[in-house]
């Protein structure tokens, strides 16, 4: 049956933080960006003939009865947290699952595993997936037995939250103040891992039974000036007026030879399957001076705004944006029917 015949009532859910108007913390910028993403998906759904509703999740006690009364066929899940707490991302997906409504994107378990960088890395290690050596700290350490330089980040945030130019630690004298500041601000364990200088790739994956590796993207660090470390920090990703925002463009397709492209694609698929990726995701990979690859993390439900890296990879692979949105919705609905017929 042609997917063009299936037209659904789709609710586009996204997180709206009550704290957005009440804080000057730049970390909140990434949370606000999801609203633009939701508008793009909503417009694409309308253009494809679906009955779409735009639904910011503000108060779960009031929102759930409204969603149930709307009787959606599918929820297009763009929620990346709840009321400013990114750790609630998996729980919102779990609510859609408990409500027995088909929803797009990765399953609650995958969202939780990917967000907890320690658990994800332990799974990578146990499955033979190369990742930088690491330590975890719940209090300020006296020292670290890993080889410098290191990079420190909160264990359960995403969108580069908590990763700044100060996150790269070059010697032991920097270790205490950097980890202490992160512990104080984010109130969660801090992951410290070996910093891998070199090229950084984003490998997007889409699909389920036979997932497709899209075009490889790369963060272009060639124009980063000597006073900055070459990382995709929060400044580089979200602060448009910061020099790093302009100095670190994403390039897709990346200039890689066929052999490297195959290696990157195979590694990304290993990660996708290891964490039971679903519908779409992105794998971030670093390559050192010896051309060894190291997985940094898996990003389930990455940003799918029209100018985001994932959409650049879609276009480079020959996918039109509306066709991608259609594919994801059809996958979610078909998954629900499949589960019902077991």
Pair (147, 212) in one structural domain: no
Kindly state whether residue 321 falls inside one of the protein's structural domains: no
Q: Please report, for the domain that includes residue 202, its CATH number.
A: 3.30.470.20
Query: Looking at residues 151-178, what average pLDDT do you find?
Result: 91
pTM here is 0.91
Pair (65, 152) in one structural domain: no
Q: What angle do CA 127, 268, 301 make, to 5 degrees?
A: 105
Question: pLDDT at position 226, please?
Answer: 87
pLDDT in tens, 215-243: 999 999 998 988 888 898 888 887 888 88
Report, in angstroms and rounded to the nearest whole number, the Rg of the chain calculated over CA atoms.
Answer: 20
Does residue 337 register a pLDDT over 70?
no
**Residues whose CB falls within 8 Å of the CB of residue 228, separated by 6 or more in sequence, listed in order:** 165, 243, 244, 247
Last residue of a domain, one of 105, 125, 149: 105
Kindly state whether residue 290 falls inside one of the protein's structural domains: yes
**Overall number of domains in the chain:** 3
Kindly state whether residue 66 falls inside one of the protein's structural domains: yes
Kindly state whether residue 111 falls inside one of the protein's structural domains: no
Cis amide prior to 115 (ω within 30 degrees): no
Higher pLDDT, residue 137 or 86: 137
Query: Looking at residues 147-173, what average pLDDT do you find?
Result: 91
Pair (189, 240) in one structural domain: no
Does residue 330 register a pLDDT over 80?
yes
Which residues on neighbouring strands pair with residue 283, listed in sequence order? 203, 298
Pair (282, 203) in one structural domain: yes
Q: Please report, for the domain that includes residue 182, its CATH number.
A: 3.30.1490.20
Kindly state whether residue 285 falls inside one of the protein's structural domains: yes
Question: pLDDT at position 227, please?
Answer: 85
Q: Please report, for the domain that includes residue 32, its CATH number.
A: 3.40.50.20
Query: Looking at residues 102-117, what average pLDDT do you find?
Result: 97
Pair (293, 224) in one structural domain: yes
Q: What is the mean pLDDT of the chain?
A: 91
Which residues on neighbouring strands pair with residue 212, listed in sequence order? 206
Give 162's pLDDT tier (boundaries 50, 70, 90): confident
Query: What gap in Å lies between CA 289 and CA 32, rounded to an integer?
Result: 37
Kindly state whether residue 313 falls inside one of the protein's structural domains: no
The boundaries of the domain holding residue 43 are 3-105
Question: pLDDT at position 16, please?
Answer: 78
Higher pLDDT, residue 307 or 205: 205
Kindly state whether residue 88 falls inside one of the protein's structural domains: yes
Q: Would you put residue 100 in left (φ > 0), alpha (ψ -120 to 50) or beta?
A: left
Does residue 65 register a pLDDT over 80?
yes
Kindly state whether residue 20 falls inside one of the protein's structural domains: yes
Query: Looking at residues 71-96, what average pLDDT do you find?
Result: 93
Strands 74-77 and 9-15: what pairing? parallel
Question: pLDDT at position 84, please?
Answer: 79
Pair (190, 202) in one structural domain: no
H runs (alpha helix) in 1-128: 29-32, 34-47, 60-70, 89-98, 108-115, 117-126
Query: Looking at residues 15-26, what average pLDDT do you find?
Result: 54
Pair (182, 233) in one structural domain: no
Pair (179, 220) in one structural domain: no
Which residues on neighbouring strands pair with residue 297, listed in sequence order? 284
Pair (202, 187) in one structural domain: no
Cis amide prior to 149 (ω within 30 degrees): yes
Question: pLDDT at position 202, please?
Answer: 97
Pair (166, 218) in one structural domain: no
Pair (212, 291) in one structural domain: yes
Pair (247, 226) in one structural domain: yes
């Amino acid at each position: 049956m042609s997917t063009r015949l299936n037209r659904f009532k789709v609710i586009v859910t996204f997180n709206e933080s009550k704290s957005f108007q009440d804080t000057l913390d730049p970390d909140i910028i990434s949370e606000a960006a999801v609203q633009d993403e939701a508008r793009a998906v909503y417009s694409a759904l309308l253009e494809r003939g679906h009955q779409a509703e735009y639904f910011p999740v503000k108060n779960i006690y009031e929102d759930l009865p409204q969603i149930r009364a709307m009787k959606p066929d599918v929820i297009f899940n763009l929620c990346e947290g709840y009321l400013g707490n990114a750790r609630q991302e998996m729980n919102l997906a779990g609510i859609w699952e408990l409500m027995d409504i088909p929803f797009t994107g990765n399953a609650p378990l995958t969202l939780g595993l990917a967000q907890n960088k320690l658990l994800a890395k332990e799974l990578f290690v146990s499955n033979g997936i190369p990742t930088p050596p690491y330590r975890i700290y719940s209090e300020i350490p006296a020292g670290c037995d890993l080889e410098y330089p290191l990079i420190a980040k909160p264990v359960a945030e995403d969108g580069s939250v908590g990763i700044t130019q100060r996150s790269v630690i070059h010697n032991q004298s920097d270790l205490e103040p950097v980890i202490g500041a992160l512990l104080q601000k984010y109130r969660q364990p801090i992951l410290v891992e070996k910093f891998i200088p070199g090229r950084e790739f984003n490998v997007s994956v889409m699909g389920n039974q036979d997932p497709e590796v899209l075009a490889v993207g790369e963060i272009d660090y060639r124009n980063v000036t000597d006073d900055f470390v070459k990382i995709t920090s929060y400044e580089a990703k979200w602060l448009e007026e910061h020099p790093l925002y302009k100095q670190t463009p994403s390039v897709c397709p990346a200039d890689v030879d066929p052999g490297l492209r195959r290696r990157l694609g195979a590694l990304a698929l290993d990660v996708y399957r290891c964490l039971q990726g679903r519908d779409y995701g992105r794998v971030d990979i670093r390559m050192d001076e010896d051309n060894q690859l190291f997985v940094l993390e898996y990003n389930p439900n990455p940003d799918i705004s029209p100018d985001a890296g994932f959409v650049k990879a879609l276009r480079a692979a020959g996918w039109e944006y509306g066709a991608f949105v259609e594919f994801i919705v059809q996958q979610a609905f078909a998954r629900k029917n499949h589960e019902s017929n077991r």
